[in-house]
Structure 1
Amino acid sequence: MFKKSKVCTAALMALSGGAILATAMPVFAQDQQQEGQALERVEVTGSRIKRAEAEGALPVTVIKREELDASGATTVAEFMRSSTFSSAGNIRPQSGSSAQSFAGIDLRGLGSARTLVLLDGRRLPKAPNVGDSVDLNTVPMVAVERIEILTDGASAVYGSDAIGGVVNIITRKDFDGVHAAVGYTDPSNAGGEKREASVVVGVQGEKGSLIMGVGSTKRGMVFTSQRPWGQTQGVSTYGNNYRNASGAFVSLGNLRGDPTIGCTDPNFWMTATGSCSYDFNKVAADEAEVENKAVFARGRYKINNDWESYLSASVSQADSFGRYAPTPAQLTVAANTPNNPTSAPIVVRHRTAAAGNRDTTTDTTLFNTQFGVQGKLTQSIELDVGGSYTDSKYKELGRNYIVRPILEQYVNAGLYDLYNPSANPSDVLSAIKATIGRDGSFKQKDVYAIATVYDLFKLPGGGASLLASIENRTENFADIYDSLSEAGVIEGSAGNSATGKREVNSASFELVMPLLKNVEASLAGRYEKYSDYGSDFAPKASIRWQPTKTLTLRASAGEGFRAPSLPQLNQKESFSAESVFDPRTCIAFGGPTTGPAADNCNIGRLVQVDTFTGANSSLKSEQSKQFALGLVWDPVEWAGVKIDYANIKIDDKITLIDAQTLIDRTNGDDPRPIPPGLFVTRDANGAISRVQQGYANEGTLKAQYLDLSLQSRWKLANFGRFEHELRWSHVLKYDDNGEDVNGTLGLPKDRAQFNTGWKLGAFNANWNINYIAKNGKVDGRIAGGYTTHDIQVGYTTPWKGKVILGMLNAFDKQPQLVAYDGRNFNFYLYDSYGRQSYVRYEQNF
């Protein structure tokens, strides 16, 4: 069988009451037991009962530090993007986004808000700039010992958000010495270069241990012009155009007899249809520059033979810089003014390029500390009492945004010349610009007490174990926009402030019952009471049967929930001009009812309507039901297989009911009712005057998954030791409100990895193959299967150093240009770096 240290084996094979553990590798505790060694109890994700049994009742994949290093990833977010469990990919930093620096984790394609992220078993705070998900950029890679991924619902153990699964990031504990590393990554495509540096120091003693570290990573900005799709001219009606009598936008210069007037400044150009466009590809960036810095410390002190105290603290910072093209503005220009020689008002779409690019810098800082004492009250009762405090702060500064009323005033007064934008005086340009800001925080305080009773009562298979816990958590959230943005007068930006506070009191239990020597049943449940919306209870039952030493079968069933986020319950009302299809409004605005779709009100012409988004204080939690089946089998000593099936149903989804959906319902195109508090109002002529969109509990999502893991280890005479693992995640079903969207754009049915490792003396090598299945098409272009290869070689020097050379995407696979979510390709699943060659040097002292 595969040999490991006793602590590692226990960690990989611990069984729980809430009941978990599956391992990334099938191994057996019997080897050590036969050798007369006592296994240490270790807590593993999915349960807080410490066990030392073989295999568990729920699937957990353990990513050890060696795999993190072999991946070539420099951040936790970067590594998790390659996980096969990230079915639909993960959000990552994007220039020009309201969540520019954010990097999330989305298990099963169910959304990052339905994936619970823990640090050493305690939940991390939500990122202030999104309000409902954890930013992985605030978790320092240098501090990570391993990552445990639970791919089943776990609300019965951890509470809200764990519908899609749990990612538990375990920090380093047992390290003695000094480890330093530096590295550099150079992509084959320009932009996106990476730098990394870290130092870890650990001290072990009879009375305790202390480990400290500092790390820094930085990835450069990727400009659109550095990519092939950025070589074509960007097309936008927001160049310098006005709407003519037929409703089309044509060059403003036509009003002065020459369409090129006002369209000769840098990056402006005339289209074949006679409009003045702006080439935003020349100046905008696809990806933001991101720099992560962190320092951490973790210590344990042995009070006596039965008790010890623990304390951990970390401060991490993620800074980003993004660039978006100059602000586009839609203006109403009065008749008979210097910029409008006609006798009727006109609508102008103008790019304020002379005012400069929209540049945004962000600064996210997370302070996290956890402390407590744990030990034995008696030989059979253990107690863990402690608390944690986290404070996530977010600051954003945006330059060169436009104050629409001032610009409109200056245009109508002739102070701003639309026909010669670059010649406008600097004081005029300064007058129409604003520096906007955003200041957010998410503070979380948590106190807990956990008692575990072993050998509570006897059963044929042994003594039962019971865990009982109580917890109190407070959350304080604020996302404050500047006053001009709140007033809705800033062009080129959207959003409004939100603040909120809640208190959560919870109680939970886990009961593990060894019914027979080879059969264990588990029950778990958690009750949570929220001060702002109500309460929930999530139960779970599981069973594990080991008919032979080489085969384990498992099953579980339970319920889960996700509480509405603080922004959804408390955000201020915000305004946006949404583009929608509504024939009645289009006709009322004077639009045509004949001609091609783009110009025909009855077919496809879009109109902009005033849309307001606000909080919904009546939201309740989402509810889920799930069950899972699995087996772990070692058919031979050198190979093992793990297969797991999961079935998830989510009711009362918290869903944004957007403007188009509401309009369709009022027009009878969608038979579903309009939720309370949301509406569409129209003027007497039928034109929409206001749309009130927002969140509501509506809809059902049903999903089924199949996961496979195959592993083997073998030695070939004098040619070294080989390790292989195939991980394959298959989506069997993804039904959203009765619509089967499995395999459609952005939702591939399959993700797989095949990892091979080799070691011989001082040399080692790794070869990882990553596969993403096809997922739909746009305009006839299919997002087909996508395969990349990552290669790494290493040499350990006689002086305890190590030289590592590697290539991510070694064969320079480029992303498929199938537009998705406003980008040239799916940013969540793919990247545009091309081949990433890297070098890293590590030194131990």
Structure 2
Amino acid sequence: MYAAVPGGCPNSDPAFQLTPAGLCGYDFNLVAADEAETANQGLFAKGTFQITDTWDFTGNASINRAKSFGRYAPALNDFALIIPNDNPFLQNEDIVQLGGPFGGTAGEVGIPDEELYQVLLYHRFASLGNRDNFTDANVYDISGIFSGNVFGQVDASAGARYNEYKYFENGRFYLLRPAAQTGLDNGTYDFRDPNATPDAAANFKATTSRESTWITREAFADVQFPLLDLNGGQAKMLVGWEYREEDYEDLYDAASEAGQIGGSSGNSAGLDRRVRAYFAEAFFPVLDNLELSAAVRRDNYSDFGDATSPKVSVRYQPISPLTLRASWGEGFRAPTLDFLSQKPAFSAEPVTNDQAECEFEGFIWDESTATCRDENGNVQAVQINATRIANPDLGAEDSEQYSIGFAYDVTSWFDFSLDYYNIALSDRIDVFTPEEILDAIRVGDPVPEAFTITRGPTGRIQDLRFGFTNSGELDTSGLDFEANFRFGLGEFGNVTSMLRYVYILEYKIDNGRDQIGDPGAPDTRIQGATEWKISDFSVVWNFQVIGDQAQTVNAGGVRSGHIPTYVTHDFQVSYFAPWNGQITVGAINAFGKEPDARSAADGRDYNFSLYDQYGAQPYIRYTQRF
């Protein structure tokens, strides 16, 4: 039975608001802060030891720590709780039935017996307070490389690396669902007003924890030797070998693993793999102004098999200031261990294309476009309960790419380059989202067998299982322009400046319509970097531009609305001390530019995959060279 309390939202909390269907909803954006605070610390050391005249050892070590605090709206029970028929707060006159197979209202027919139906509660436990998450991520990295020369002509190197990523997360004020059910069973919690029975609600609080470790151990070696003499110089070849071990473990607390925590998501995972790779690269200076190179790499993964990646390139300089270049290659991307091993995890997912969910929330179902809309005709998303699952059969993503372009040295103080690139991904690793699954089922397209939908008596989705899969082909192409400027200012120092402009020409999935200009897919990216050096000081100004895009895409791919261009500025000042030390102070996004609210997506108040909402991020750094 789906019901609402007469009078809408009796609680004084302004975040509680009536939905079009008369349900008491909660505007979590009023209190959520996502990542309200971040802090980063790092220490890096590098040293080189000369062993002999021809051999040396280089060591690198670094420690980085990132801490963050996030605040989210009060916890909710992601899956329905049951209100017993004898609950003292469940009164006939207080319940209005909103639909379902039973007919009439509770006031007319009385409380039916348990064989007919159960009263289900979907509830925001506001009295628990906002959920607070604290994270602490640490990265430790150490490597050593021996390099030198053998027989006067062969350059060789060998080394090893150890990298450990350690992540801790603690959450406060989450919901312990069994305790909340007990509060409903014994009638001590007033579900009509979350703040009316604070003593009972205090027993529902839960603390969550997560500990994740990702360890990588590597060993590698290569040798480079001459092949033959050509008109443009000496041809050379490099051959090498790599070995890598990856051990991954991501552990959640027992209550979260068992699905007993409300308002939480994620679940434990863990897997390991071993990777061996062999590679070779050859360089041929055919003429003084013509160079060819070819490379091939063979990877063997313990969990999904082998892959070969070839590449060829050519560089031609018909006149001194002009260089023509082109390349072609193939590649692959292996699925990461978390994609392959994560246990089923709850996830609240937005959908716009399910009729039962749309109408339950009081919105209008547009049959012609199979979309949910509000009274003004705007596409409306509603949240469903879903479960993200791993795909142990996930395979590698293959790619083929080529590029062609030129570089031109106009003067001693100005040069520029322009390249065209084309990339095709096949068997791409991508999330088969709940919306995509619903669309595929509606039109009769195949859906992986593990991705199932469970619906209740009224047709509402109780659970939709989704996850990563190898799906289709992505084709994209674009232009990459870069210009460099160098100016001498005499006694006022020197200025160098770089401008990079990337214009995306095409972005198509499975040869469908071009998605450039859609929400989250701007056609323009610009980066600029300018540095002024004078005496012992350096002043840097960087800027980044993300182009504009449409706000929504309607039926037939028609775009509407506008999300404006997004520009941020970074500043940095450095002092180079006489003792080989460097003191740097700066700020990322110095003016605190925020993403436009019209980019809101996936339940957040901005497009999380395109922008960040950290605001201004000041920092200080010290570097010492010996």
Could you say which TM-score interval applies, normalised by the shorter chain? 0.7 to 0.9
Pair 1:529-2:294 in alignment: no
Do the aligned residues in 2 keep the contact of 1:622 with 1:651 (CA within 8 Å)? yes
C-alpha separation between the residues in 2 aligned to 1:295 and 1:594?
Answer: 55
Is contact 2:19–2:361 with CA below 8 Å preserved after alignment? no
Contact 2:8/2:18, CA 8 A, preserved across alignment: no
Query: 3-state SS of the aligned residue for 2:338?
Result: helix
Equivalent in the alignment of 2:103: none
Name the counterpart of 2:505: 732
TM-score (structure 2 length as normaliser): 0.82
Unaligned segments of structure 1, at least 5 residues: 1-241, 245-249
Matched, 1:431 2:203: yes
- In structure 2, the gaps of 5 or more residues are 93-110, 113-117, 374-380, 554-559
Map of 2:411 onto structure 1: 636
Contact 1:296–1:314 under 8 Å retained in 2: yes
Tell me by how many angstroms 1:686 deviates.
7.2
Letter in 2 for 1:727: R
**Aligned match for 1:568, one of 339, 346, 349:** 339
Relative to structure 1, is the Cα distance of residues 811 and 687 closer, same or farther in structure 2, using a 3 angstrom cutoff?
Answer: closer
Alignment check: 8 A CA contact 2:29 2:604 kept = no
Q: Does 1:604 align with 2:372?
A: yes
Q: 1:816 to 1:415 in 2, by over 3 A?
A: same
**Structure 2 residue 433 is matched with structure 1 residue 658:** yes
Task: Report SS of the residue matched to 2:185.
Answer: helix
**Offset of 1:596 from its aligned partner?**
3.4
1:508 maps to 279
Aligned to 2:65, which of 317, 320, 332?
317
Aligned match of 1:377? 150
Letter of the aligned partner of 1:394 in structure 2? Y
TM superposition shift of 1:787: 3.7
Contact 2:518 2:550 in 1 (8 A): yes
Q: Give the direction of change, closer, same or farther, for the CA distance of 1:475–1:742 in structure 2 (3 Å limit).
A: same
- Aligned residue for 1:471? 242
1:619 aligns with 2:397: no
- After superposition, residues 31-430 of structure 1 pair within 5 angstroms as 243-244=2-3, 250=4, 252=5, 254=6, 261=10, 263-264=11-12, 266-267=13-14, 271=18, 276-278=24-26, 280-281=28-29, 283-329=31-77, 330-342=80-92, 343-344=111-112, 345-424=118-197, 426=199, 428-430=200-202
SS at match of 2:255: helix
Secondary structure of 2:122 counterpart:
strand
Q: Counterpart of 2:432 in structure 1: which amino acid? A: I
Paired residue secondary structure (1:395)? strand
Separation of aligned partners in 1, 2:119 and 2:368: 20
Closer/same/farther in 2, CA of residues 409 and 598 from structure 1, 3 Å limit: farther
Match of 1:825 in 2: 606
What displacement does 1:316 show? 2.0
Take 1:714 and 1:396, find their aligned partners in 2: how far apart are those partners? 49
Distance of 2:469 and 2:16 partners within structure 1 = 44
**SS of alignment partner, residue 493 of structure 1:** coil
1:525-604 superposed matches below 5 A: 525-576=296-347, 580=351, 596-597=364-365, 604=372
Counterpart Cα distance in 2 of 1:800 and 1:300: 16
Partner of 1:11: none
3-state SS of the aligned residue for 2:372?
coil
Q: What is the aligned-residue RMSD (CA, Å)? A: 3.7
Distance in 2, Cα, partners of 1:810 & 1:416: 48
Paired amino acid for 1:359: D
Take 1:716 and 1:608, find their aligned partners in 2: how far apart are those partners? 59
Deviation at 1:525, TM superposition (A): 0.7
Structure 1 residues 499 and 767, CA gap change in structure 2 (3 angstroms): closer
**1:777 counterpart letter in structure 2:** Q
The structural deviation recorded for 1:444 is 0.8
**Which residue in 1 is equivalent to 2:215?**
443
Q: CA–CA distance in 1 between the matches of 2:591 and 2:399?
A: 42
In structure 1, give the amino acid aligned to 2:365.
Answer: A
What residue identity is the alignment partner of 1:441? T
Structure 2 partner of 1:225: none
What's 2:466 paired with?
693
Asked whether the 8 Å contact 1:335–1:341 carries over to 2, the reply is: no
Equivalent position amino acid for 1:751 in 2: R
3-state DSSP class of the match of 1:354? Answer: helix
Please tell me the residue identity of whatever aligns with 1:437: S
Contact 1:582 1:607 (C-alpha < 8 Å) held by counterparts: no
Post-superposition shift, 1:635? Answer: 1.9
Indicate conservation of the 8 Å contact 2:45/2:62, yes or no.
yes
Shift of the 367–627 alpha-carbon distance from structure 1 to 2, 3 Å rule, reads same
Using the TM superposition, name which of 307-316 and 641-650 deviates more. 307-316
Equivalent residue, structure 2, for 1:772: 546
Shift of 1:785: 2.4
User: In the alignment, is the contact (CA less than 8 A) between 1:592 and 1:599 conserved in 2?
Assistant: no
Alignment CA distance shift 1:471-1:545 (3 Å): same
Q: Hey, what's the Cα distance between the residues in 1 that align with 2:129 and 2:456?
A: 39
Q: Deviations over 1:307-350 (max 9, x none)?
A: 11222222222222211121123533233421212315433332
Aligned to 1:101: none
2 CA distance for matches of 1:298 and 1:332? 61
Q: Is the contact between residue 583 and residue 601 of structure 1 (CA under 8 Å) also seen in structure 2? A: no
Does the CA-based 8 Å contact 2:276-2:301 persist in structure 1?
yes
User: Partners in 1 of 2:362 and 2:14 — Cα distance?
Assistant: 34
Q: CA deviation at 1:782?
A: 1.2
Alpha-carbon contact 2:146-2:157 (below 8 Å) kept: yes
Greater RCO structure (CA 8 Å; 6+ sep):
1
Paired residue secondary structure (1:406): helix
Question: Structure 1 581/399 Cα, relative in aligned 2: closer, same or farther at 3 Å?
Answer: same
Letter in structure 1 aligned against 2:173: N
State the secondary structure of the residue aligned to 2:180.
helix
Cross-structure match for 1:710: 483
Residues of 2 paired with 1:369 and 1:841: CA distance? 20
Indicate conservation of the 8 Å contact 2:270/2:338, yes or no. yes
Cα distance change on mapping 1:808 and 1:384 into 2, 3 Å: closer
Task: Give, in whole Å, the separation in 1 of the partners of 2:619 and 2:345.
Answer: 45
Instruction: Tell me what 2:99 maps to.
Output: none
State how far apart, in whole Å, the 1-side matches of 2:395 and 2:252 are: 27
Pair 505,585 (structure 1): closer, same or farther in 2 beyond 3 Å: same
Matched residue SS, 2:188: coil
**Paired residue secondary structure (1:559):** strand
Q: Give distance in 2, aligned partners of 1:764 and 1:789.
A: 17
Change (3 A) 1:481 1:623: same
Task: Give the deviation of 1:594 after TM superposition.
Answer: 10
State whether residues 666 and 680 of structure 1, in contact with CA within 8 Å, keep that contact through their aligned partners in structure 2.
no
Q: CA deviation at 1:816?
A: 2.2
1:489 to 238, 254, 260: 260
Q: Residue 105 of structure 2 aligns with which residue?
A: none
* Contact 1:338–1:413 (CA under 8 A) maintained in structure 2: no
In structure 1, distance between residues paired with 2:276 and 2:465: 34
Counterpart contact for 1:594–1:600, Cα < 8 Å: no
> Deviation at 1:744?
1.7
SS class of match (1:299): strand
Q: Take 1:272 and 1:679, find their aligned partners in 2: how far apart are those partners?
A: 29
